[in-house]
Structure 1
């Protein structure tokens, strides 16, 4: 296994050297992400892409501008969400990764104004725009930087900004987010679809939906996986030592608009001999799950800890809801599970099609039975690892830079 791992690392290095020789992004890249570096999962595509791009040019990641003001009627744990965003703002401009000195992260000071295009909203956009321009210069970017947008609420900020190219990273159907004003967000998405030089997709279903509006500006980039981070070889997290096998697990955000929490509960009840391990922050009550004796919830954990938890799973779970969000999504989690060599059981969604030979796709009523079958017959872990090696983030970043270079 040591020889295989070394070969994989050499291949990644070769990819990066090739990128350095072939692509240049003279002005740098400003990227308005849909997450926050300081409290969300750092495996998200925005962060992974920009980490790779920063090997070639200065990058400024602008943390999520949000899509709604947290409140009792619109979100769970609103006080906690407001407080963590305030703390994020206090961090100002930082370079969080010593090994990537060109990778900068910034959370702008902003007013919580959503669902409006009025005077205050325009002033708020101008305030954010001024901050971003100043901070971009401090980070070594010039006025011809390319701009990327994942969060649709960045449109009023970037619309008048000078740039070499505008890229809309259409990674999700944000207007289907149940806690936001869908019609307002859809309007922002439409502006980005109309005015961007390139529109990136990870979902063929969403790409097809936008085909008439986007045309030849569409580019299917797909998600990658951090192959160095999610390696099968390595230690199991020590906190799993006292939890009996078989362990069926999930890592990532436990969001009740994406994850079928009732299905998790039903699975734990149906398989009392299995330990259900959950690793991730929750945006909903976990009481119904944690009261079960075979459920173990570890809450939010740093990105560095996630592979060690995953290595302790006997089966990895993807229990998605059947809603519009998931129908147009492509969860990165699948490739991370496969990179760890884990057998995977998932509910059905369109983007799972290319992976059907490497996992189990279950109907909701058969989910627990398929999980049990997976830990009884886990299949070939090495084959899963070999399959997913083609999906490096280096390759995704190279494709993005090539696209921008041909702008």
Structure 2
């Protein structure tokens, strides 16, 4: 009988993260209590943070519904699996003091214990994607601890870096298994309990031909597209220069835009489509001329392994990217550029290419199902 899971992750139901992809598949054979985000930073008195804090305080404790108010860049219509219970806890986000940590732990234990007891979990494993959950390890009846590290938290914008670094140090010492989503993250943890688990891809979703999205520009021009978080880790100087050089192209951006992304709309050939559901994305990425990965060069990007890379490749369209370590595995299928002139040349080269079955084959074996099968075997020996 497989052991069940208590998972501390982001809010369930937004843009499907690697954790959600994996846990969705693990829940086929394991019961899961999923705890929505307990935070990585102390809130400020901005309108966004006040609204988020109010939602956290007033949300019902458990739900089987998908959240529609997620602040993430893409929405999701993915339903909650039958074997998974979602909990919306009230807590103190990322408390620094010893007293604050004790209070937050007590609050979470009081809310979660009756839910876990009703779920009748079998010998549960506590899984966390958030270092701030380390204090809960010995509070909920779990005897094994898994740390899934998908980001370099020391470089994430908006994170209370000192607090999170301290929690991560504790977590690494206590974890029975550490899962690193990229080579860069894997090298941070020099112990035998660390395993590399790169991101997978929903290959069928992105490779099986999808109907062209109705709001994708269709005026005969070639189109370059991007979907995801339109945040400050995109190179907007590079994008603005490239867009200016290529008035004969359309540029499409899908996601919730930051102020810098909104500035792209100054160009007549730019369309900002806003957030889209995950299952809708192939209707765009299969039908534009080239997919973009225009990242800046910083510590966060050097440690990342973006899910959209494999999704882009599975869609079969040319991929144009700035350099970052995770791209190296697919160098034969990606045009890596360093300037606006290079990006323009790569896009012009991609304009009339047909779908590339070789690049699709390169990711066809790296599905989320395959990743979950590997992960199941590791969990079974904890």
TM over 0.5: yes
Q: CA deviation at 1:81?
A: 4.7
**Residue 204 in structure 1 maps to residue 190 in structure 2:** no
After superposition, residues 248-397 of structure 1 pair within 5 angstroms as 248-256=224-232, 258-376=233-351, 378=353, 380-397=355-372
Name the stretch that deviates more: 302-311 or 47-56. 302-311
Q: Within 5 Å, which residues of 2 pair with 1:7-406?
A: 24-26=1-3, 28-33=4-9, 35-38=10-13, 40-42=14-16, 44-71=17-44, 78-84=46-52, 86-87=54-55, 90-96=59-65, 100-112=81-93, 114=94, 116-142=96-122, 144-211=123-190, 215-242=191-218, 244-256=220-232, 258-376=233-351, 378=353, 380-406=355-381
Q: Measure the CA separation in 2 of the matches of 1:278 and 1:175.
A: 28
Q: Note closer, same or farther for the CA distance 1:198–1:241 as it changes in structure 2 (3 Å cut).
A: same
Q: Compute the RMSD of aligned alpha carbons.
A: 2.2
Secondary structure class of the residue paired with 2:187: helix
SS in 1 for 2:248: coil
Q: Unpaired runs of 5+ in structure 1?
A: 1-23, 73-77
| Contact persistence 1:68–1:181 (CA under 8 A) | yes
The answer to whether the 8 A contact 1:318-1:345 is kept is yes
Alignment length (residue pairs): 369
Q: Is the 8 A contact 1:245 1:314 kept in 2?
A: no
- Structure 2 CA distance, aligned partners of 1:230 and 1:91? 35
1:382 Cα deviation from its structure 2 partner: 1.5
Query: What do residues 181-217 of structure 1 show as CA deviations (whole Å, max 9, x unaligned)?
Result: 2222111111111110000012112211222xxx110
For residues 139-185 of structure 1, the C-alpha deviation after alignment (integer angstroms, 9 at most, x for no partner) is 4424x211111111112233544313211001111121132222221
Counterpart-to-counterpart distance in 2, 1:371 and 1:83? 43
In the alignment, what sits opposite 2:71? Answer: none
In 1, are the aligned partners of 2:148 and 2:180 still within 8 Å (CA)? yes
**For each residue in 1:257-299, what CA deviation from the matched residue of structure 2 results, as whole angstroms up to 9, or x when unmatched?**
x222332222221211111100011344433211211111111
2:41 aligned counterpart, secondary structure: coil
User: Gapped runs of 5+ residues in structure 2?
Assistant: 66-77
Distance 1:85 1:313, change over 3 A: farther
TM-score scaled by structure 1?
A: 0.84
CA deviation map 1:234-268 (0-9, x unaligned): 11111115455311010111121x22233222222
* 8 Å contact from structure 2 (residues 42, 160) kept in 1: no
